[in-house]
Amino acid sequence: MSDSGGDPADGASGGTDAGGVEYGEVAVTLAAVLALVVAAALLPAAGLGSGGGGGDGAAGTAGTATTTPGGTPGDAATGTPEGGSSGDSTTAAPLGGGSPSGVSLSNPPERTAIGSPRPSGAPLAQTPQFVVEAPRNAYWRQTAYSRYTGSAWERSPRWQPMSEGVPDDGRTATGGRMDYEVTLLVPSSSLPTAWRPERVTVPNRSVGVEASTLGGVRTDGSLPAGTTYRARSATPPRSPAALRAAGTDYPPELERRYTQVPAATPRRVGAFTADLTAGAETPYDTAVIVRDWLRTKPYSLNASHEPGEPIADQFVFEMERGYCQYYATSMVVMLRTQGVPARYVVGYAPGERVGENRYLVTADRGHAWVEVYFPEVGWVRFDPTGTGRLPVRNPQPPYDISLNRSAVAGARVAVSVEKNGTPVVGAPVFVDDERVGWTDARGRVTTTLPYDATVTVTARPPDGVTKYDDGTTAASRTTGGTAPVDAARRPGSTGRLAAARPPAGLGQRETPANASSRTYRSDTNVTLSVRGRPVAGGGVTVVAAIRDVPFRGATVTVDGERVGETGANGTAGVSLSGVAPGTHTLRVRRDAVSARTTLRVLEPGEGDSAERAGPDPIAVAVDAPLGLPLPGGPATVTTTRNGSPVRSTVRVDGRTAGRTDANGSLSVTLPVAGSAAVVARGPAGTTDRATVAGLYRNAALLGGVLAALGAVGWWLRRRGVTPRGGARTLATALSTLSARAVAACIRAAELLGAAGRALRRGLRWLAGLPARVATRGLAALAALDPRRLWRWLAGLLARRGSGATGGSDGARGGGEPSATAAGDGAPSTLRSSWREFVALVAPPGARTRTPGEIARYAVDRGLPERPVRILTEAYRDAEYGRLAPDEERLARVREAVAALRAAARGEEP
């Protein structure tokens, strides 16, 4: 049995049947084992087995994140390159203790700090720790921690000889068992095991073996390198149905211990978690939602926190990225605020497969994760750590480099780096000699293409430049230069390093500096248009785009004088207050890309009404057969003006497709791409644009329909259904449906008749209502005592008056601000402003995003930063109870919302 349904199985075994074993294969295997034993004997002597920081090891490791199908809690099998506390090797924790440095296999301490207040700059050491022979890979657990202090984890387990059984602080049902052997490659008294250990046997019973209530296993004396111990572990059931049905009947002492959070933990952690998991029906659903939300945060070893402040609160609300200690700590604290027992666990992530059923675990596999308790099931593992890891092996060039779309200047693209069809993880990627980042677990990095006619993308080996590099390119290190580069290229950047660019040309090629490069020709044809009537003293809007990509950050000039700059949507408002009537040159330019057109500025009141209105705009429409545009498929472009056909020149994805005929129509072939931009230019320079999206999606849909029809035909043919028999069956079915439809119509007519009769009875009752009111109502009014009515009204007014002056709205939960001196309507005004802002931005997954994430999303989409910051800060201050808004702040909020509304419409605020 495997350790868990979620641990990675490295595919089917690559071995052969016993009868087919070659003697050469046996010899190679024996040689590899001998080399491993010799390496284990030499490593401690070389000083590589200590628990200090990184050393000269390789850059790091990465596992492939694999989520168990069906949503089971066997989480991503993450080869997370994280270690523990730096410092003296005699006291260093294997993980969870501080900076993410290389670690040694030693007993975890009773108290371990979380993360580091300083970013780490040292590479990770890949020192071998132990080798496992097991049916499946697994997480190799050392211990768990129960008490959270805000900056550290503490434990106080009870130990007992393993011969007396394994103590457990919560009943664990057995889902399966796994037998395995572990060979230590460094001396140790800590014995990693798969969860949950049932038996551990050391050779010759040379030392005593103890087990703790937290699942740790240790010996009373250090075992030398080369020692092999055998173990058996049980795994709890991992079926989502079983975990959802486990309920919340926790043992009281266990619930008290594992839902503890420090009093200093800000209330906003619990409020945010409650809102995030509002739709969860069981603790299992709560754990899955929290885990998946944390995984959206980018992974990085170069992360740190502010000392003295609760770490979970910082990671949830303030930190942009982190490593496993931050993820695991935050998930435990978030679950505990919702009353779900959880604990912080340390050990090693699954090892690297080095043979059939054989896995090597190195120091950079040190990891932290979470265990959640389910009644009658036990402790179940959840791993919330996000992606972004470095590879275990560093494949060397040549690489296959590709983009996810056609090259367009200023376009946002994903660069993919592969080696023999496998993603290369952790490879530094350069665009025109400027480093834009490192490939993630999928071998991708996202960047914005520069505004050049040709773009060269270069990928270097992961060990050529690491995440801990000093910020210089390989070229600058070779020449002794120190020119810094940004970790990611920012839109609008025009800086270039002085390193020589590769020769122009398309295709893949090998560079002399142990790297691979590919040069693309970018589309730099700018479509430039002017909206509005250009009248002296007035203003117009300049619109610039390259295909479907807005021309951002371009300088706008009129007769060489700068008058503005295009924003995130490629538009710029231009004032004509200082421009004289006449003909002028309008130009937009950024880096090597530019475009210009003639701008005729009119006298105020010049021309008749038709001229003042300008030429009527044209409209372009794209139709495809069956209304389903496909990549490479046919389409018809139609251009009209005021509903009448008009001749226009049509361009598809920047290429001229032809000119529409007298009927305003042109047959075109769509490109083989995910979308296509169709631009039509009509008389008087009027233009219109249409984007045909979802081409690949439509192709997949059509393919699915054809495949389904083929499967139905095959199924019918297998069952002997002939076309003639099928026709008879269809005719019978249609006859039956027709008879049933007629019966349904008759029944509907009967129901309508009954409804009509009921309506007539109701009308007769209403007709007699005035008479009944006149007789019975007047009699009741005559019997009414005016004094009793007066006392009832006075009491009602008194109660309403006392309720209106009854202080703050203390009943509100979830950290919402109460009404203060700013007025009872202040919070609702602020929340309505925030809701309008969120609706304006429309971020994906808005319900699970923090205010800070929504604000960053808005700025990335081109909204002005200052009003976004004003609105976000006011909302967060009020939402989490720090500062109620006063009238002055509400006025700033209203101004910010108005500015954002105007920016979204492309207007000047």
Contact 229, 267 (CB under 8 A): no
Helical axes 826-841 vs 865-879, angle rounded to 10°: 130
> By percentage, how much of the chain surpasses pLDDT 70?
72
- Which stretch of DSSP H or E encloses residue 434? strand 434-438
Report the alpha-carbon distance of residue 394 to residue 345 in Å, rounded: 29
Helices marked H in 471-524 — which ranges?
474-479
864: how many CB neighbours lie within 10 A of its CB? 17
End-to-end CA distance of the chain: 65
B/e letters for 113-123, b = 16+ CB within 10 Å, e = fewer, are bbbbeeebebb
What value, to the nearest 5°, has the Cα angle with vertex 410 and ends 404 and 411? 25
- Token pair of 831, please? 């929340």
pLDDT (0 to 100) of residue 312: 95
For residue 425, the 8-state DSSP code is P
Q: Name 557's bridge partners.
A: 562, 587
- Token pair of 579, please? 């421009």
DSSP string, 193-255: B-SSEEEEE-GGG-S-EEEETTS-EEEEEEEPTT-EEEEEEEE----HHHHHTT-S---HHHH
The residue type of 378 is G
pLDDT (0 to 100) of residue 58: 30
pLDDT (0 to 100) of residue 715: 85
Peptide bond into 230 cis (omega under 30): no
User: What is the rounded average pLDDT for all residues in the chain?
Assistant: 77
Positions in the chain whose pLDDT score sits under 50 = 1-22, 26, 28, 33, 36-102, 390-392, 464-510, 512, 608, 610-613, 802-824
Could you list the beta-strand ranges (E) of 579-700. 582-590, 593-601, 619-623, 634-641, 644-645, 649-652, 655-659, 665-669, 676-681, 687-692
64: how many CB neighbours lie within 10 A of its CB? 18
Q: What is the pTM of this model?
A: 0.40
What value, to the nearest 5°, has the Cα angle with vertex 419 and ends 418 and 422? 70
Burial class (CB in 10 A: 0-12, 13-18, 19+), 572: buried
Report the alpha-carbon distance of residue 399 to residue 429 in Å, rounded: 11
- Token pair of 44, please? 């401690």
The residue type of 804 is A
Q: What is the 3-state secondary structure (H, E, C) of 83-147?
A: CCCCCCCCCCCCCCCCCCCCCCCCCCCCEEECCCCCCCCCCCCCCEEEEEECCCCCCEEEEEECE
pLDDT (0 to 100) of residue 722: 76
How many Cα atoms sit within 13 Å of 419 on the Cβ side?
18
12: how many CB neighbours lie within 10 A of its CB? 6
The residue type of 239 is S
- DSSP, collapsed to helix, strand or coil, labels residue 192 as coil
Burial class (CB in 10 A: 0-12, 13-18, 19+), 624: middle
- Token pair of 573, please? 């408002």
State the residue for tokens 């976000």: 872
pLDDT (0 to 100) of residue 61: 33
Contact 867, 897 (CB under 8 A): yes
Query: pLDDT tens across 846-868, in order?
Result: 778 888 889 888 888 888 888 88
